[in-house]
Amino acid sequence: MPAVDRMGIGQLTRMAFSGADLLPVWQRLMERAEEEIADAGVYLDLSLMAQLAGSRDVGLALQREVLALHRLFRSPCSSENPRLRVLALAADIDMGGNTPIELLLEGADIELQTLYVVPGTNLPNPLPEHDVAIVIASDSAECRPALEEIDRLALDWPQPLLNLPRMIANLDRDKLYRLLNDIEGIDIPATVGCSRVQLTDIALEIVPMTDFGDELAFPIIVRPRGSHAGVGLAKLDNAEALFAYLDDRTEDEFFISRFVDYSSEDGLFRKYRIAVIDGKPFACHMAIADQWNIWYLNAGMALSAEKRLEEETFMYTFNFGFALRHKSVLSSMAERIGLDYFVIDCAENKNGDLVIFEVDNTAVVHNMDSPEVFPYKPMQMLTICEAFAAMLLRRAQQEQQCAA
């Protein structure tokens, strides 16, 4: 199965993030499709553009049609003679369900091919030539069949295989709690799976919430099972709020956990994103807001020079500040999670412990912020991308040395 070229998530997301007009690109791709000169890469780019425009279902439907015919795609590379060939193993899911690895390899002289693993279809035989492979599918339920298929073949994979599927499966919220809870210096709320019926029984006081966990009591945090990026996330203070939440959601399965007040002395909340590459932590960003449910885009960082100065200080002092304070915790997490690359969303509680909100292998780490507004970010993001590329190269070289 030959690889088909595509623009890919790196180029298209950067254009969308910068506010560029994607309509001319869409029209050009559609013209190729209408003239029947389009290949599978064009249609996969159209699928991504539909998702970027907010038409998730349309994009996914188009993606499924494409992957029924072709599953191997090549991303743009900065060199005609790349020093490394990487094969990313992806699942048929929306654009947030696979690691955006292109953003980590931008500008690197590394060839990236992405193979979508679709259960019920055979992988190419032989596999595309590569020096190292990495699983980029997430721990979500939609990706589980693909992860199981990759795991079945993992022991016989011809080249080093990073981010093993069985390790990714431990990132599910309830499993993660059991994996990390007893690490000293960590504060990770127990995450409990509940059905809609069970949550209704809690709201009706038919069963006490403590039946699901000793530490559970209002206020609680609730989210649909398998959701990411804050979709359906809410803080509920009482039974009435729980009723209203269920009325507003269509899902049948949820996660609940205790609410952690991680506000600082000034009343603001600070949330950190840390990338862990081959066991070493790197600062990705720091979001500061007056509300607990922070995402970088809703924290108003671009609007506050004071906040940006604090984030800049956090990045510059990370190795002898934050990372040193939590050295033991971060090291223990890396060892237990066992992934070559993952991302932590976290905070510090009032005792100085590290509060873990989420650990994910697909969280977005990028270098797309304006260098004029965030002049301290390009160098930090370059450091992260170079560390990621160096990890891939190191693993490939280790395999070559062993073979020799």
Same structural domain for residues 228 and 105?
no
The token pair at 61 is: 């439907």
The pLDDT value recorded for residue 401 is 61
Q: For residues 286 and 358, what is the distance between their CA atoms, to the nearest angstrom?
A: 15
Same structural domain for residues 17 and 71?
yes
Please check whether residue 54 lies inside any domain of the structure. Answer: yes
Please check whether residue 179 lies inside any domain of the structure. Answer: no
Classify residue 371 by its DSSP letter: T
Same structural domain for residues 212 and 274?
no
Same structural domain for residues 21 and 145?
yes
| CB contact set of 273 (below 8 Å; sequence gap of 6+) | 283, 284, 285, 286, 287, 296, 343, 344, 345, 363, 365
Please check whether residue 176 lies inside any domain of the structure. Answer: no
Same structural domain for residues 314 and 371?
yes
Same structural domain for residues 206 and 287?
no
Please check whether residue 224 lies inside any domain of the structure. Answer: yes
> End of a domain among 200, 230, 258?
258
Residue pair 134/113 in contact (Cβ under 8 Å)? The answer is no
The pLDDT value recorded for residue 398 is 83
The pLDDT value recorded for residue 215 is 84
The pLDDT value recorded for residue 402 is 64
Q: For residues 184 and 135, what is the distance between their CA atoms, to the nearest angstrom?
A: 30
Number of C-beta neighbours around residue 114 at 10 A? 24
Q: What is the DSSP string of 20-66?
A: ---HHHHHHHHHHHHTT---HHHHHHHHHHHHHTT-HHHHHHHHHHH
Please check whether residue 175 lies inside any domain of the structure. Answer: no
Return the CATH number at 386: 3.30.470
The pLDDT value recorded for residue 107 is 85
Kindly report whether the peptide bond that precedes residue 126 is cis, defined as omega within 30 degrees of 0.
yes
Q: For residues 43 and 292, what is the distance between their CA atoms, to the nearest angstrom?
A: 40
Same structural domain for residues 248 and 371?
no
Number of C-beta neighbours around residue 9 at 10 A? 23
Same structural domain for residues 38 and 129?
yes
Q: For the chain, what is the largest distance between any 2 Cα atoms, rounded to a whole number of angstroms?
A: 67
Same structural domain for residues 113 and 76?
yes
The token pair at 111 is: 């060839």
> End of a domain among 234, 258, 282?
258
Number of C-beta neighbours around residue 332 at 10 A? 17
Radius of gyration of the chain (CA): 22
Which domain, by its residues, includes 252?
A: 190-258
> End of a domain among 151, 166, 181?
166
Same structural domain for residues 151 and 227?
no
Same structural domain for residues 20 and 135?
yes
Q: For residues 274 and 344, what is the distance between their CA atoms, to the nearest angstrom?
A: 5
Please check whether residue 404 lies inside any domain of the structure. Answer: no
The pLDDT value recorded for residue 173 is 77
Q: For residues 63 and 61, what is the distance between their CA atoms, to the nearest angstrom?
A: 5
* One pLDDT digit (tens) per residue for the chain, 404 residues: 789 999 999 899 988 888 888 889 999 998 888 877 678 999 999 999 999 998 999 999 999 999 999 999 999 887 788 999 999 999 999 999 999 999 999 888 999 999 999 988 888 888 999 999 999 999 988 999 999 999 999 989 999 999 999 999 999 877 899 999 999 999 999 888 899 999 999 999 899 998 888 888 899 999 998 666 678 899 999 999 999 999 999 999 999 999 999 999 999 999 999 999 999 999 999 999 999 988 888 899 999 999 999 999 999 999 999 999 999 999 999 999 999 999 999 999 999 999 999 999 999 999 999 999 999 999 999 999 999 999 999 999 986 666 55
Nearest alpha carbon to residue 357 among 96, 173, 212: 173
Please check whether residue 178 lies inside any domain of the structure. Answer: no
How many domains are contained in the chain? 3
The pLDDT value recorded for residue 125 is 86
Please check whether residue 185 lies inside any domain of the structure. Answer: no
Same structural domain for residues 234 and 311?
no
Classify residue 263 by its DSSP letter: B
